[in-house]
Amino acid sequence: MATDDMCSSSSTTTTKKKQQQEEESGLSTTHEERCRRCFEEWMQLQREDLTHLLESLHQPTNNNSQETNDTTSTVIRNCISHFDHYISKRNLLAQEYPSPLFAPTWCTSLEKSLLWMAGCRPSIFIRLTYALTSCSTEPLTNDGDNKNSNSFIGIGELSPSQMTRVNGLHMRTIKAEQKLTDELASWQEELADDPIAVIVAKGDCGDKVVMNNEEAEMALKEHEKVMGEVIGKADKLRLNTMKELVLEIFKPTQALQFLVASKKLQLSLHQWGKRRDEKQRRIRSYRSISH
């Protein structure tokens, strides 16, 4: 219980201070600023969670004492809880105005190039699992014929039962991803076909661009509503995929290793993206000066 309180208090200190400062100064923030703040708070929480995960991973086992098991379980549950809370905040922002979440200015160019439904593909969690077990990125087999059985790293070798469950989750997740992709594509096509295309084709404004149109506004609002719902479904799939792996399939130590790797991956991509964007800015600045 003490560990739970420690993790919770340390992970929310920065957020509470920011919120208190804004309330005291009476500053109002735009939707995009709130989205940016939500993302930045999440990234900071990822760093704090990673610290707790590494501490738990490297602590003495004490012959698998109950205290050690309880601490490990608390750290894992906290990570899932933080992810759940972040998704809830995102969904509130998406219901208000989802478009910025599909093209986030707070993400690096590298991160944006990897986005699917305003986030990562849920199936990347399974592919990360394959990578951490020294397997290929294809579904695992449980026939015992694994030439790399003596070179497992990361979360270690999965049991035949775990392999079967991971493969089943992989197939279900890919199917769910495709369903959401098709749903989004269908709504995008419908928006372009009718009524937007019809409104533009009417030619009531001659050669002018259609600026204000009640019918178009209604169509765009419906589009935004659907986009918000799509983000909610995608986030739910991300969360449920993570939960099934970490809480149901993996053993506690495997869950720790997996969470460490997943957080390192996201934090590293963010830093790599920042460096590449900065490099491109320097190149453009140099070219501008040269000319």
Q: pLDDT digits over 53-96, tens only? A: 999 988 776 655 777 778 889 999 999 999 999 999 999 999 99
Q: Which of 37, 148, 35, 44 is nearest to 92 (CA)?
A: 35
Q: How confident is the model at residue 152 (pLDDT cuts 50, 70, 90)?
A: very low
Around Cβ 241, how many Cβ atoms within 10 Å?
22
- The tally of domains found in the chain comes to 1
- Span 270-275, average pLDDT: 96
Average pLDDT of the chain?
82
Pair of tokens at residue 21:
């400062």
What does the alpha-carbon distance between residue 186 and residue 172 come to, in Å, rounded to a whole number?
Answer: 21
pLDDT score for 3: 46
Task: Give percent of the chain with pLDDT exceeding 90.
Answer: 58
* Phi-psi domain of 236 (left: phi exceeds 0; alpha: psi -120 through 50; beta: other): alpha
> Do the Cβ atoms of 119 and 252 come closer than 8 Å?
no
Residue 137 has pLDDT above 50, yes or no: no
Q: Specify the residue for token string 């990822």.
A: 46
Residue 147 has pLDDT above 50, yes or no: no
Pair of tokens at residue 37:
């703040």
What does the alpha-carbon distance between residue 188 and residue 102 come to, in Å, rounded to a whole number?
Answer: 13
* Phi-psi domain of 202 (left: phi exceeds 0; alpha: psi -120 through 50; beta: other): alpha
199-203, 238-242, 284-288: least confidently modelled range: 199-203
Domain housing 62? 2-147+156-290
The per-residue DSSP string of 30-76 comes to: -HHHHHHHHHHHHHHHHHHHHHHHHHHHHS--TTT-HHHHHHHHHHH
For residue 250, the Cα-to-chain-centroid distance in whole angstroms is 20
CA angle in degrees (0–180, nearest 5) for 27-30-35: 115
**104: cis peptide before it, omega within 30°?**
no
> Do the Cβ atoms of 41 and 34 come closer than 8 Å?
no
Q: Tell me which long-range contacts 276-283 makes (C-beta under 8 A, separation of at least 24).
A: 276/108, 276/109, 276/110, 277/108, 277/109, 277/110, 280/109
**195: cis peptide before it, omega within 30°?**
yes
Task: Give percent of the chain with pLDDT exceeding 70.
Answer: 75
Pair of tokens at residue 99:
């478009």
What does the alpha-carbon distance between residue 51 and residue 190 come to, in Å, rounded to a whole number?
Answer: 46
